[in-house]
Amino acid sequence: MALYDRILVPTDGSPKGNRAVEHALALAAIHDAEVHALYVVDTASYAGTGMEATWTGIDDLLREDADEAVARVEALAEGTDVAVETSVVEGSPGREIVRYATDAGCDLIVMGTHGRGGIDRLLLGSVAERVVRRSAVPVLTVRLGEETEGSTVEEAEPADDAGATDDAGTTDT
């Protein structure tokens, strides 16, 4: 039995965001799962600003960006056996990501986070934080940005048995 069957990866189409996509694709390959790539056009941020009148003019541009973003996920999956389903929705990103995960029956959400703290987080909020708080399914957050150091998905290896305990609870040495 696979741990994950459907993995949701919300994307903004940014090169930094590809790191979360790569994690989602690697997990999907391991678990023989499909990936759902979701782009949320953030219409909630325009509400009440007077921008509604010009929305029809920028709607096509935003839709084009959205289509390119989910197509990038498909391109990253080329050469793998991972099936990718793409969707573009409009609304508040945090709310729509959780809604999509529920409606599509996803068992995991893999998403990037910029790791903001302090006043930036207070003022800007965090879509990832909202999703973590509201989601009924597990959320794996992947730190994005230049400040990120550590292994890549390709460098990850299973841990050896050093320090593992046997059935009697004693440690192997």
- Residue-range domain boundaries for the chain: 6-143
Residue partners of 161: CB distance under 8 A and separation at least 6: 172
Provide the token pair at 17: 């965001």
For the domain bounded by 6-143, which CATH number is listed?
A: 3.40.50.620
Distance CA 28, CA 77 (A): 10
Structure tokens at 79: 């050469």
pTM of the full structure: 0.77
Radius of gyration (Cα) for the chain, nearest Å? Answer: 19
**CA within 13 Å, CB half, 5:** 5
pLDDT tens-digit readout, 40-95: 998 776 655 555 555 566 777 888 899 999 999 999 999 999 999 999 999 999 99
